[in-house]
Amino acid sequence: MATKEIKKTYEEAIQRLEEIVEKLDSGAFTLDESMSLFQEGVALTKYCNAKLNEYEKTITKLVEKQGELIEEKFDE
């Protein structure tokens, strides 16, 4: 999973992460299966973090200056 490009929306990735956590919590998988799920979870976590960072950079805020609303870049 780590070498493949993830083609999911952020919400789909989060949903899949929740599924993985539930599966790992159940303890119903072999060590190999659990490791595979864990690796997929790590890749999805990295993907979600990258998406959040990308979105954060594009957030703008409206600031009122002298009665006008002005759009400014979000300060990191």
Domain boundaries, the chain: 10-73
- Quick one: which of 46, 15, 20 has its CA closest to 33? 20
- Helix 31-58 × helix 10-26 angle, to 10°: 150
Structure tokens of 55?
A: 């979105």
pLDDT tens figures, 2-21: 446 889 999 999 999 999 99
39 pLDDT more than 70: yes
pTM of the prediction?
0.71
Q: Do 53 and 44 form a contact (C-beta atoms < 8 A)? A: no
Amino acid at 59: I
